[in-house]
């Protein structure tokens, strides 16, 4: 699958729609502990950075065991709420372009290689049970699922690019549909 093209399409479509939103709407926090739409875009930047390094590390480390991160802490420390929205959108676009280039240049052999050691039950938004073999493709599909999960909440009437990205767990190497174990925030 051309994941790199899908990521580029999602980002370009989303940026056009987000730029049309009112800045006061983007900065509005639903509650003191909930992210504004602006902070959510910042979180998507952090997610792109984290997943870029995961794709790079996968080949050399021989497993898919990756460190998570404290999303709220990253959002707060990066001060996304008080940053310029155009700067955030430009950064989000560039980090995803960077990730898309990496994915495009990652061979199918690595993307589809089955790893028995993974922690996708802990770090993926749509968890894969620990006993199931995992692939880097699964992680990328989950990244797309995660991105669109947030875009649905940022952009009124946002339409996902495809049903297959509604749940990454629908896709696994064994061909079985895996029920969602629990709902986790992508870490």
The answer to whether residue 172 scores a pLDDT higher than 70 is no
- Grade residue 28 by pLDDT with cuts at 50, 70 and 90: very high
- Cβ-in-10-Å burial (0-12, 13-18, 19+) of 158 comes to middle
| Spans of all domains in the chain | 3-112+136-166
Q: Which CATH architecture has domain 3-112+136-166?
A: Up-down Bundle (1.20)
- Grade residue 169 by pLDDT with cuts at 50, 70 and 90: very low
Q: Do 149 and 132 touch, CB atoms closer than 8 A?
A: no
Q: Do 139 and 54 touch, CB atoms closer than 8 A?
A: yes
Note the pTM of the prediction, 2 decimals.
0.87
167 vs 149: CA distance, rounded Å: 10
The answer to whether residue 178 scores a pLDDT higher than 50 is no
pLDDT of residue 107: 93
Q: Do 68 and 123 touch, CB atoms closer than 8 A?
A: yes
């Amino acid at each position: 699958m051309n994941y790199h093209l899908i990521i580029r399409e999602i980002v370009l479509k989303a940026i056009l729609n987000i730029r049309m939103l009112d800045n006061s709407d983007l900065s509005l926090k639903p509650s003191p502990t909930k992210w504004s739409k602006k902070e959510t875009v910042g979180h998507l930047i952090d997610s792109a950075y984290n997943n870029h390094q995961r794709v790079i590390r996968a080949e050399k480390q021989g497993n898919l065991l990756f460190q998570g991160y404290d999303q709220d802490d990253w959002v707060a420390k990066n001060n996304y709420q008080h940053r310029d929205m155009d700067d955030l959108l430009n950064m989000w676009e560039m980090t995803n372009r960077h990730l898309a280039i990496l994915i495009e240049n990652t061979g199918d052999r690595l993307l589809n290689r089955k790893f028995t050691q993974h922690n996708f039950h802990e770090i993926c938004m749509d968890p894969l049970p620990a006993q199931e073999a995992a692939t880097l493709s699964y992680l990328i599909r989950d990244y797309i699922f995660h991105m669109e999960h947030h875009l649905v909440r940022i952009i009124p009437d946002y339409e996902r690019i495809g049903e297959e990205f509604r749940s990454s767990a629908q896709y696994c190497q064994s061909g079985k549909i895996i029920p969602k174990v629990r709902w986790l925030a992508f870490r």
